[in-house]
Structure 1
Amino acid sequence: MTTPFPFTAVVGQDDLRLALLLNAVSPAVGGVLVRGEKGTAKSTAVRALSALLPEVAVVSGCRFSCDPSAPDPACPDGPHETGGGAARPARMVELPVGASEDRLVGALDIERALSEGVKAFEPGLLADAHRGILYVDEVNLLHDHLVDLLLDAAAMGASYVEREGVSVRHAARFLLVGTMNPEEGELRPQLLDRFGLTVEVAASREPDQRVEVVRRRLAYDDDPAGFAARWAGEEAAVRARIVAARALLPSVRLGDGALRQIAATCAAFEVDGMRADIVMARTATALAAWAGRTEVLAEDVRQAALLALPHRRRRNPFDAPGLDEDKLDETLEEFGGDDDPDTDPEGPDGPDGGGGQPPAEGPDSDGDAGTPAEAEESGPSQPAGAGSGERSPVGAAEPFRTKVLSVPGIGEGAAGRRSRARTEHGRTTGARRPNGALTKLHLAATVQAAAPHQRARGRSGPGLVVRRDDLRQATREGREANLVLFVVDASGSMAARQRMGAVKGAVLSLLLDAYQRRDKVGLVTFRGSGAEVALPPTSSVDAAAVRLESLPTGGRTPLAAGLLKAHSVLRVERLRDPARRPLLVVVTDGRATGGPEPVALAGRAAGLFAAEGVASVVVDCESGPVRLGLAGRLAGGLGGTAVTLDELRADSIAGLVRDVQGTSRRAA
Structure 2
Amino acid sequence: MPGSPPSSTPPARTARPAPTFPFSAVVGSEDLALALVLTTVSPEVGGVLVRGEKGTAKTTTVRALAAVLPEVAVVEGCRFGCDPAAPDPTCPDGPHDQDPATTRPARLVELPVGATEDRVIGSLDLRQALGSGEVVYSPGLLAAAHRGLLYVDEVNLLHDHLVDLLLDAAATGRSTVEREGVSIAHASRLVLVGTMNPEEGELRPQLLDRFGLTVEVAAPSEPALRAEVVRRRMAYDLDPESFAAAWSESETRLRHRLADAQARVAHVGLGDAELLLIAEVCAAFEVDGLRADLVTARAAVAHAAWHGRDRVTKADIRAAARLALPHRRRRNPFDAPGLDEELLDRLLGDDDPPIPDPPQDPPPSPGPDDSEGTGDAADPADAQAGDPPATPPGPGSADREDGPQGPADRQPEPPAAPEPSSTPDARDGDPTRGAVAVSVAAPGQAYRTRLFTARGVGTGTAGRRSRAVTSTGRTVGSTLPDGEHRPLHLSATVRAAAPHQATRGRTDGSRLRLVGTDLRHAVTEGRESNLVLLAVDASGSMAARKRMEAVKTAVLSLLLDAYQRRDKVGLVTFRGTEAVLALPPTSSVEVAARRLTDLPSGGRTPLAEGLLRAAETLRLERLRDPRRRPLLVVVTDGRATSGPDAVARSRQAAELLRATGVSALVVDCETGRMSLGLARDLAVRLGADHVRLGEVAAGSLVDAVRTERAALDPALRQTQGPRAA
1:19 paired residue number: 35
Match for 2:639: what amino acid?
R
On the 8 A contact 2:367/2:397 being kept in 1, the answer is no
Q: Which moved more, 1:106-115 or 1:87-96?
A: 106-115
| Superposition deviation, residue 263 in structure 1 | 0.2
Match for 1:145: what amino acid?
H
2:625 paired residue number: 577
Partners in 2 of 1:627 and 1:74 — Cα distance?
Answer: 71
1:39 paired residue number: 55
Against the structure 1 CA distance between its residues 655 and 535, is the aligned structure 2 distance closer, same or farther, given a 3 Å change threshold? Answer: farther
1:548 paired residue number: 596
2:330 paired residue number: 314
2:582 paired residue number: 534
Q: Which moved more, 1:75-84 or 1:256-265?
A: 75-84
1:421 paired residue number: 468
Against the structure 1 CA distance between its residues 18 and 383, is the aligned structure 2 distance closer, same or farther, given a 3 Å change threshold? Answer: farther
TM-score by length of 1: 0.90
Match for 2:336: what amino acid?
A
1:275 and 2:270 matched: no
Give the SS at the match of 1:159.
strand
Q: Deviations over 1:405-429 (max 9, x none)?
A: 3345321111101222111222222
2:135 paired residue number: 119
Partners in 2 of 1:263 and 1:491 — Cα distance?
Answer: 51
On the 8 A contact 1:203/1:360 being kept in 2, the answer is no
1:49 paired residue number: 65
On the 8 A contact 1:427/1:476 being kept in 2, the answer is yes
On the 8 A contact 2:539/2:576 being kept in 1, the answer is yes
On the 8 A contact 1:197/1:308 being kept in 2, the answer is yes
Counting only pairs closer than 5 Å after superposition, residues 124-163 of structure 1 correspond to structure 2 as 124-163=140-179
1:206 paired residue number: 222
Counting only pairs closer than 5 Å after superposition, residues 78-477 of structure 1 correspond to structure 2 as 78-81=94-97, 84-333=100-349, 342-343=353-354, 351-352=391-392, 354=396, 388-436=435-483, 439-459=486-506, 462-477=510-525
Q: Which moved more, 1:111-120 or 1:200-209?
A: 111-120
Against the structure 1 CA distance between its residues 180 and 355, is the aligned structure 2 distance closer, same or farther, given a 3 Å change threshold? Answer: closer
Q: Deviations over 1:518-552 (max 9, x none)?
A: 11222211111211112222221321221111111
| Superposition deviation, residue 648 in structure 1 | 4.2
Q: Which moved more, 1:354-363 or 1:542-551?
A: 354-363
2:634 paired residue number: 586
| Superposition deviation, residue 622 in structure 1 | 2.8
Give the SS at the match of 1:276.
helix
On the 8 A contact 1:405/1:654 being kept in 2, the answer is no
On the 8 A contact 2:341/2:409 being kept in 1, the answer is no
Partners in 2 of 1:97 and 1:72 — Cα distance?
Answer: 30
On the 8 A contact 1:205/1:360 being kept in 2, the answer is no
Determine which of 684, 687, 709 is the counterpart of 1:639. Answer: 687
Match for 1:34: what amino acid?
V
Q: Which moved more, 1:307-316 or 1:639-648?
A: 639-648
Match for 1:581: what amino acid?
R
Partners in 2 of 1:310 and 1:223 — Cα distance?
Answer: 39
Match for 2:685: what amino acid?
G
Determine which of 547, 553, 559 is the counterpart of 2:607. Answer: 559
2:563 paired residue number: 515
Identity of aligned residues (%): 62
Against the structure 1 CA distance between its residues 388 and 317, is the aligned structure 2 distance closer, same or farther, given a 3 Å change threshold? Answer: farther
Give the SS at the match of 2:667.
strand
Q: Which moved more, 1:347-356 or 1:115-124?
A: 347-356
Q: Deviations over 1:144-168 (max 9, x none)?
A: 2322322443344322333332333
On the 8 A contact 2:314/2:352 being kept in 1, the answer is no
Partners in 1 of 2:621 and 2:246 — Cα distance?
Answer: 48
TM-score by length of 2: 0.83
Against the structure 1 CA distance between its residues 161 and 552, is the aligned structure 2 distance closer, same or farther, given a 3 Å change threshold? Answer: same
On the 8 A contact 1:390/1:552 being kept in 2, the answer is no
On the 8 A contact 1:402/1:654 being kept in 2, the answer is no
Partners in 1 of 2:48 and 2:663 — Cα distance?
Answer: 42
Query: Matched residue pairs, number?
Result: 649
Q: Which moved more, 1:443-452 or 1:563-572?
A: 443-452
On the 8 A contact 1:603/1:637 being kept in 2, the answer is yes
User: Please, which runs of 5 or more residues in structure 2 have no aligned partner?
Assistant: 1-16, 358-365, 369-373, 375-390, 705-725
Against the structure 1 CA distance between its residues 437 and 509, is the aligned structure 2 distance closer, same or farther, given a 3 Å change threshold? Answer: closer
| Superposition deviation, residue 643 in structure 1 | 3.9
| Superposition deviation, residue 187 in structure 1 | 0.7
Against the structure 1 CA distance between its residues 293 and 141, is the aligned structure 2 distance closer, same or farther, given a 3 Å change threshold? Answer: same
Match for 2:668: what amino acid?
D
Q: Deviations over 1:536-581 (max 9, x none)?
A: 2222132122111111111121111111111111111211222222
Against the structure 1 CA distance between its residues 566 and 90, is the aligned structure 2 distance closer, same or farther, given a 3 Å change threshold? Answer: same
| Superposition deviation, residue 654 in structure 1 | 12
Give the SS at the match of 1:496.
helix
| Superposition deviation, residue 628 in structure 1 | 3.0
1:662 paired residue number: none
Against the structure 1 CA distance between its residues 647 and 256, is the aligned structure 2 distance closer, same or farther, given a 3 Å change threshold? Answer: same
Against the structure 1 CA distance between its residues 23 and 617, is the aligned structure 2 distance closer, same or farther, given a 3 Å change threshold? Answer: closer
User: Please, which runs of 5 or more residues in structure 1 have no aligned partner?
Assistant: 657-668
2:718 paired residue number: none
Determine which of 472, 475, 478 is the counterpart of 2:526. Answer: 478
| Superposition deviation, residue 258 in structure 1 | 1.2
- For the pair shown, the structure with the greater C-alpha radius of gyration is 2
Match for 2:478: what amino acid?
A
Against the structure 1 CA distance between its residues 101 and 425, is the aligned structure 2 distance closer, same or farther, given a 3 Å change threshold? Answer: same
Against the structure 1 CA distance between its residues 80 and 320, is the aligned structure 2 distance closer, same or farther, given a 3 Å change threshold? Answer: same
| Superposition deviation, residue 597 in structure 1 | 1.4
Q: Deviations over 1:119-149 (max 9, x none)?
A: 1222111110011111000000002232232
| Superposition deviation, residue 282 in structure 1 | 0.9
On the 8 A contact 2:51/2:195 being kept in 1, the answer is yes
Partners in 2 of 1:118 and 1:576 — Cα distance?
Answer: 45
On the 8 A contact 1:71/1:82 being kept in 2, the answer is no
Against the structure 1 CA distance between its residues 486 and 596, is the aligned structure 2 distance closer, same or farther, given a 3 Å change threshold? Answer: same
| Superposition deviation, residue 629 in structure 1 | 2.7
On the 8 A contact 1:534/1:547 being kept in 2, the answer is yes
Against the structure 1 CA distance between its residues 247 and 625, is the aligned structure 2 distance closer, same or farther, given a 3 Å change threshold? Answer: closer
Match for 1:301: what amino acid?
I
Q: Which moved more, 1:399-408 or 1:379-388?
A: 379-388
Partners in 1 of 2:423 and 2:256 — Cα distance?
Answer: 58
Give the SS at the match of 1:534.
strand
RMSD: 3.2
Partners in 1 of 2:608 and 2:132 — Cα distance?
Answer: 68
Give the SS at the match of 2:517.
helix
Q: Which moved more, 1:478-487 or 1:92-101?
A: 478-487
